[in-house]
Structures are given as C-alpha cells and as structure tokens.
Structure 1
Amino acid sequence: MYRKEIEEYIEAHKQEMLDDICTLCRINSEKMSYKEGMPFGPGAFEALTEALTMAESYGFSINNYDNYVGTMDLNDKETQLDILAHLDVVPAGEGWKETEPFNPVVKNGKIFGRGTSDDKGPAVAALYALRAVKELNIPLSKNVRLILGTDEECGSSDIAHYYSVEKEAPMTFSPDGAFPVVNTEKGSLAGHFTTEFELSDKLPKIVTLEAGLKVNVVPGKVSAVVAGLEEAVLTKVAAEVSVSTGIRYEIQMEGNHAKITAIGEGAHASTPDEGNNALTGLLFYLLKLPLADCPQVTMLRRLQDLIPHGDTKGKALGIAMGDEISGNLTLAFSLLKVTDTDLVGTFDSRCPICSNEENVLMVVKKNMEDKGFTLHNDSMRPPHHVDGDSEFVKTLLNAYESYTGRKGECISMGGGTYVHDLKNGVAFGASMPETDNRMHGADEFAVVEELVVSAKIFAQVIVDLCS
C-alpha cells in the first residue's frame, strides 16, 4: 500500500536528504562539559537545535525536553510507534583519510564523516520517512514520534530523562543497528579496575602511559613514554613485535626519553575483531623491552596475562562463552592510565543471553583480585530480547523484504541501543548486513543508497503499523 508514492517521494528528495545529513554532520556533537542549558555541552545542543529547526521547517510539531531530547510528531493522535535515534557522536579520533571528521563528503556512492552512519544519517532518513507520509497525505489512525537524543554514546541519560516524563510507545525501533531486525542485544560489562604499587626509579622504565578515547571504542592509536633505552633497542623490538601483533610502532627520541606510538585500527567495542587494538599492542611491545624489574612492570605483566593482545573473547579472564541466539562474548580493552604508583583501566565486554553476574561479573572480579587488581563494578547490564514472532517484528521484516528483495530474519548484535531497556523495542536499520560502516572508527561512512532505501522502508512501516 502506497509503495509507488513512497518510492517516488524519497527519490525526488534524495539530494535534499543528503544535504540535511551533511548539515548535521558538520557539527561536532561529542559530549562536552556541561554549560547552563546545555546538559551535554555546546556541540550536542547545537545539533539538537539544528535538527528541531529542520523538522519544524517541514511542518512537524516539535518539543524540546530540557535540551536532553527533542521530538517531532506526525499528528496529534495516540502514539503507536516511536523511532529512537541520536545526534551525539563519539570523538573523531585519528587516522581519517577520506575527509576531515566533521567535513562530510559524498563520493563513490558513500557519505563520509563522523555521525554519517551513527546515527545522524539514519536519524535524517527517519525524518524523511515522516515527511513522505505527511506530504503524501497518507491517512493514519495513530501517531508516530521521532525522538532524537544527545547522550546515547555516553550512557543514555538523555533517554532516561525523557522516559521519566513520557511513557513507552506500544512499539519502538531504533535505526542505530543493522537490517533486517536486531531483536537481541547483548548485555554488557564496562569493567573498571585499579591497582597501586610502590614507586621505583630504576631504569629503563615506563614514564607515562595514557591510552584510549572512550570505553566503547577500540583504540586505534596510543602512546607511551619510556626512559633509559637506546633507539637501536627500541627499533629492533618494534620490528620483531610488529610481525606478531600487526601493529605499527613509531619511535621519537627526546634525549633520554622516547615516545612510542602504537598504530593499529580502531573499531566499535562491540566488534573488536574488526579492529586491531593499539592499546594491547602497545603493552605487548613495552613488556618485550628490557625494562628494569619493578612493581609497575610486574603489575603490567599480570594485566597482560588477564587481557593479552588478540584475546577478544575473554578467554584469559575466564569468561569466554556464547549461545546460538546471541553469539559469543566479546572483550575490548579500551582505556588505560599508568603512573609511577598506580594503574587505572577499563574494558568493554558484550555478553550473550547465556551470561549473568555469576558467570561473568563474579568470575572477572575473582580472577582480577587474584592478580592484585580491584574490579569496581557491582552489577552488569543484562541482555535484551524481543520475540521474533510478534506482529511488530513481522511487519518490519515484511517491509524490509519488500523493498530489498532479501530474506528478512532476526539477528543479534553486541552494540547496545536506546531500545535496550524497552519492553517492545528493536533495532532496525539503517545499513545492510554486509556493510561495515567503520562505526566509531576513522573514515566512518554510510552507503547513500542504503540510507535512501531505509527512508522508504521506514515510511512503509509507518503506514503499515499506523494506518
């Protein structure tokens, strides 16, 4: 029903949609320091203001929830469907080649830039789905609300604020995953651990090490400073270690000190195998150097025993597991700071349906404690699952099959979305199953035609669920 009209509308507005995506992606909306009236900083505030202005110019009724969340409604009827997307982004990071992070460009059928796939591109595709239904005057008996948040990447306090005053819609999807339908999201444990040790002035030594961008980003480039080693030694070990790790090591001498930079490949923490962790690669290199024996080095060796380079399944921590529905547990060591007297680190683990606090949290706590580390977590986020045979999910799959000619099926993912804690919430789009958007990494992109077909699918779903 209305497929021909929907397809013609989206095709006619394709360039306008891309222009709107670029407008939002030029804004650096990573979380910044609080300012009055800007709970997540000026970047997120600017992106939300721009998006709401955009929606209002298209004739939608908008609402701003204290600059945490913005909404736009298709009509004033009872809401049947919520579409949850977000405007905040992870930090740009390094290693961009196709364009500057906040200078989006369209080339070779792709749109490159931070936020193009996660999640500004899909958010605008959803907005254009609402526009299509509205401007085609397709009659609906229920309302659809597009909800745009600004803190998804740093804990989703924005959406918690929204649901403290609004109730869940009967059905919700977030265009922040992949097609066909993600009805299962793994649980998670952002393991924060520390230890202390005695000061040592022995040389050679590690002077400083502070690595990582965010807990949910596999580090692609990190550095440390060492003292007391000759460049020839550093270079020789780098050449040897690079072969086994796949990490490139750059050495910059400054007198008795040397800055060691490890260059791997960043990735989303939910898919650590798609990257090459520069942090674990740096530790592997440092511990191959002839460093003086001291408490700091002892604890780093113990840490490497627990999370060695290449172990993305949690084997060494004793938590490797998996199930048929949600797949294997994943582990990404994402943040580490080492000083002369202490160490602070964080890893990101995505945990399958078979996981729980007893077989993950308590095991990690004990195994880290045995090595002299304190895990500060008292709980973990449980996994999320929605019945794949529900009419809601079937409707989404039917629309996907109709517009793509592909088989629709339910899938699982490690990334958590806004719908994780919603009773009837799934992730739906906006990329095809085989597409790696380099989400959270350098040269993030969205395939233009995938955004276009997403807008069509979303519009069809609105019609099918709300007519």
Structure 2
Amino acid sequence: MYKKEISQYIDSHKEEMIRDICRLCRINSEKMSYKEGMPYGPGAFRALEEALEMADSYGFTINNYDNYVGTADLNDKEHQLDILAHLDVVPAGEGWKETEPFEPVVKGDKLFGRGTSDDKGPAVAALYAMRAVKELNIPLKKNVRLILGTDEECGSSDIAHYYSIEKEAPMTFSPDGAFPVVNTEKGGLNGHFTADWEPSDALPKLVSIKAGLKVNVVPGKANATVAGFDKEVLSRTASECEKETGVRYELTFEGDTTCITAVGEGAHASTPKEGNNALTGLLFYLTRLPFAKCPQITMIGRLLELIPHGDTEGKALGIAMSDELSGELTLAFSLLEVTESGLDGTFDSRCPVCATSENVLEVVRKNIEEKGFTLHNDSMRPPHHVDGDSVFVKTLLNAYESYTGLKGECVSMGGGTYVHELENGVAFGASLPGTDNRMHGADEFAVIDELLVSAKIFAQVITDLCS
C-alpha cells in the first residue's frame, strides 16, 4: 500500500533532499576535543544542532540528549521502530580529487563529500521517509523515532548514553551498512600492543615512524624518518619496493636525515582488501634498508613477520578462519608509532561468528609475546546476529524487493554498526549491492538514486511496521 504515493513524494523532493544532505556534509563533524556542553567537540555539536533544526522545521518532535544524541519522533504513539543513524564522520584523510572533503558536490549521478554515504546522506534519507509518511497522512498506530548520534566512529559512547536513559524499541534498523539486510555482524579485536628497547645511536638508523588516523581506517599514508643513509640507496630501494607492493615512496632529503612518506590507498578496516595499506608497505620498505643492527630494527622486522604487507586475513598471526554465516576473518594494521626506544601499535580485526577468545585473542597473545611484544587486550567484541526469519526482517526484505526488483536476503558484514549491541537491531541500507562508495576513503560518495530509493524503502517499512 501507498507505494505510488511514496515514490512520487520522494522523487518530487529530490533536490530539496540533496540540499539538506549538503547542508550537513559541509560541517566537519569528526570527533574533536571536549568542550563544555560539546562532548565530542564543536563539529559534532554543530551537526547535531543543524539536523535537529531541520527535523523541527519539518514538524517532528525533537529531543536533545545532552548533545550526545538527538531524536525526532513522528508521533506520540506507542514506541515501535527506531532508525539509528549518525552525524559524526571519520577524518578527511588524504587523496581527495573530486572535491574538497567538506565541500559536497554533485557530479553526474553521484554526490561527493565526507559523510555523503556514511552516514549523513542515509540519515537525511530516513528523515525524508518520515516526512513522506507524515505529509501523505498515512495513518499509523505506532511511533517511529529517528535517532541521530555523534560518536559512532569512535566507540559509540553517545548511544550508550542514550540507552542509559531510553529503552530499545521492539525493532531497530540502522542505515549505516548496505542492502539487503545485514543481520550478522562480526565480532572484533582491536589488538593494542607495545614493546620497549634500549636506544642506539649507531648509523644508519630509524628515527621514528608515525602512521594511522583511526583504528578502523586502513592507512592511506604512513611516515618515517631515517638518518645516515646514502640517497641512492634510499631511492633505489624505494623503486624496487614500489614494484612489489604497489605503494609509492616519497623521499624528502634534509641534510643527514630523510623523511619517507609511503602512499597507498585507504579503506574501511572491515574491508582491508579494498585498500593498499601504507603502514605495512612502509615497514616492508624499511626492512629492505641496511640499518645498523640494533634492538629497534630487530623488532621492526619481527613486527612485519607478524603482519606482513598484503596479509589481510591474519594468516601470519595464526588466526585466519571463516564460517558460512559470517565469512572470513579480516585484519588491518591501522596505527603505529615508533620512537628510538619503543613502539605502540594497534590492528583492527573483524572476527566471524566462529571466533572465540581462545582461538583468536589467546593465539594472538601467544604469538606476539613470543616475538617480544606485549598485548594489552583482555577481551574481544562478540559477534551480533538477528533471526533472518523474523517478521521484522522479512518486512524489510519485502520492501527492498518491492522498490528495487532485486532479491532480498540476509548478509553479514565486518563493520560493526550502531545496532551491534541491540537485541533486535539490523543494518539496512543505504547503498545497493556492488556499490563501492569509498566509505572512510578519499572521494567518498553516495549514488543519488540509491539515496532516493532508500528513502522510499524506509517510508514503506515505517508504513508496514507502524500502521
């Protein structure tokens, strides 16, 4: 019911919806330092203010939960459905070509800009779905609430704050994954490890390494400083390693020191194969250089043995595994800082349903401690699964099939979403199968028609579940 009316409404509001997405995407809402009344800094605060003002202007009842989370309610009836989206973004990163990260622009059938697909575009699509239901006067017996968070990318403390005040709805979906329905999310281990050693002044030497933006981002760039090397050795080795890794090595010579920038391709840590890790590429390069022998260089070599360049499945760490329900384990080495006397690193591993503390965490601990590193993790995040035969999930799949003509089915993903801790929560949209929207990478984009069809599907779901 109401399919024709919903489709006409969303299509007629296309330009307005794009303008509202751009309005939010112009705000750099990555997590910043705390300020009074702004738990995640001024950017996230501004994005939440703007979004709530937008929802208020469309006639929804809004609430602000201490600037952690904002909500918009369609009516005051019994709580039935939550749509859980987020307004924070990962850092802009390097390598943008289509536009500046926070200057959203339409090119052809795509909208480019940080947040267009993750997750401001889908959040606005959900808001317009609610507008469609409201302005078409579709009768509802129950309420739908749009929940807008501001810390999804850095731990979801915002949503923990919200659910310390409010109860879960009987059904929740988050437009922060992909269609059809993601009812299984892998568990995870953000492996944090350190090592210390006695510094050495012997030349040639490694002065430092600094790589990574966030634990859930495959580094597109990584930097190191070395001293005491002949320029020809550095340049020749760079050329050789580029052929083997596909990573580019940029050298800046400053007297006796050289700054090395490894340039790969960033990606979401849940899909590390889609990138080319600049950090492991940098380690590959450094281990080919004739450093003076010292504990630091020994440990760098051992580190690359544990996480070799191109190993995105944890084979060298001894944790490669897969299952039919959730697929294979993935691994992304995402953060590393090395000084003359120690290192601090973190890898992001997305673990299938068959993963346990015994076959992942303890295996990692054993293998890295044998190499002289210390693992600081005592636990790992469990996987999440919702019954694919439930009325809730079947309703989502039916709406998806109706508006796309594509087969609806349940899938699993490596990326943990807002619903990971919710008993009856799934990820639903907002990109269609096969679309690589460069989430967390340079030139992130959303396909405009996919945002429109998402809004239509969401409106139909609201209608079917709440009327």
**CA distance in 1 between partners of 2:303 and 2:223 (Å):** 18
Q: What's the RMSD between the two structures over aligned residues?
A: 0.4
Give 1:247's aligned residue.
247
How far did residue 299 of structure 1 move? 0.5
| Deviation at residue 433 of structure 1 after TM alignment | 1.1
Aligned-partner SS, 1:146? strand
* Deviation readout 1:214-261 (Å, 9 max, x if unpaired): 000000011111101111111100111111101011111000011111
Tell me how far 1:424 sits from its aligned partner.
0.5
Shift of 1:450: 0.2
**Amino acid of the residue matched to residue 24 of structure 2?**
L
For 1:322, the aligned partner's letter is S
Paired position in structure 2 for 1:214: 214
SS at structure 1 position matched to 2:192: strand
The one-letter amino acid paired with 1:111 is L
By how many angstroms is 1:427 displaced?
0.1
Q: Which residue number in structure 2 is paired with residue 460 of structure 1?
A: 460
- Partner of residue 403, structure 1: 403
For this pair of structures, how many residues does the alignment match? 467
Distance 2:466 2:104 in 1: 34
Q: Deviations over 1:358-382 (max 9, x none)?
A: 1101110111111110100000000
Aligned mates of 2:193, 2:436 — CA distance in 1: 31
In 2, Cα distance between equivalents of 1:433 and 1:412: 13
Please give the per-residue CA displacement for 1:316-339, whole angstroms capped at 9, x wherever unaligned.
000000001100000000000000
What is the SS of the residue equivalent to 2:162? helix
1:8 alignment partner, SS class: helix
The match for 1:352 is: 352
The reply to whether residue 35 of structure 1 matches residue 53 of structure 2 is: no
User: Which whole-Å CA distance do the structure 1 matches of 2:336 and 2:82 have between them?
Assistant: 38
Matches for 1:31-430 after TM superposition, within 5 Å: 31-430=31-430
The structural deviation recorded for 1:108 is 1.4
- Identity over aligned pairs, percent: 79
Q: Structure 1 regions of 5+ residues with no counterpart?
A: none
Q: Which secondary structure state, in structure 2, belongs to the residue aligned with residue 84 of structure 1?
A: strand
Equivalent-residue separation in structure 1 for 2:311 and 2:283 (angstroms): 13
Question: 2:292 and 2:270 mapped to 1: Cα distance?
Answer: 36
**Hey, what's the Cα distance between the residues in 2 that align with 1:217 and 1:141?**
42
TM-score w.r.t. length of structure 2: 1.00
Structure 2 CA distance for aligned equivalents of residues 2 and 240 of structure 1? 62
Aligned letter for 2:20? D
Name the SS for the 2:129 alignment partner: helix
| 1:431 shift after superposition | 0.0
For residues 288 and 302 of structure 1, the distance between their equivalents in structure 2, rounded to whole angstroms, comes to 13
Could you tell me which amino acid in structure 1 is paired with residue 277 of structure 2? N
Cα displacement (A) at 1:40: 0.3
Q: Aligned AA for 2:391?
A: E
Q: How many Å separate the matches in 1 of 2:122 and 2:356?
A: 32
**Structure 1 residue 208, shift from structure 2 partner:** 1.4
- Provide the rounded CA distance (Å) in 2 between the counterparts of 1:360 and 1:245: 27
Distance across 2 between alignment mates of 1:97 and 1:221:
16
Matches of 1:64 and 1:102 in 2, distance apart? 25
Instruction: Supply the AA of the counterpart residue of 2:134.
Output: K
State the partner residue of 2:20: 20
- 1:185 aligned partner, one-letter code: E
CA distance in 1, matches of 2:397, 2:81: 16
Structure 2 counterpart of 1:330, one-letter code: T
- What secondary structure does 2:308 align onto? coil
C-alpha offsets along residues 384-440 of structure 1, whole Å, 9 cap, x if unaligned? 000101110000000000000000000000000000010100000000010011000
Alpha-carbon distance in 1 for matches of 2:113, 2:55: 22
- 1:441-456 equivalent positions in 2, closer than 5 A: 441-456=441-456
Distance, in Å, in 2 between the alignment partners of 1:94 and 1:170 is: 41
Separation in structure 2 between the aligned mates of residue 394 and residue 107 of structure 1, nearest angstrom: 35
- Which 4+ stretches in 1 moved above 3 angstroms? none
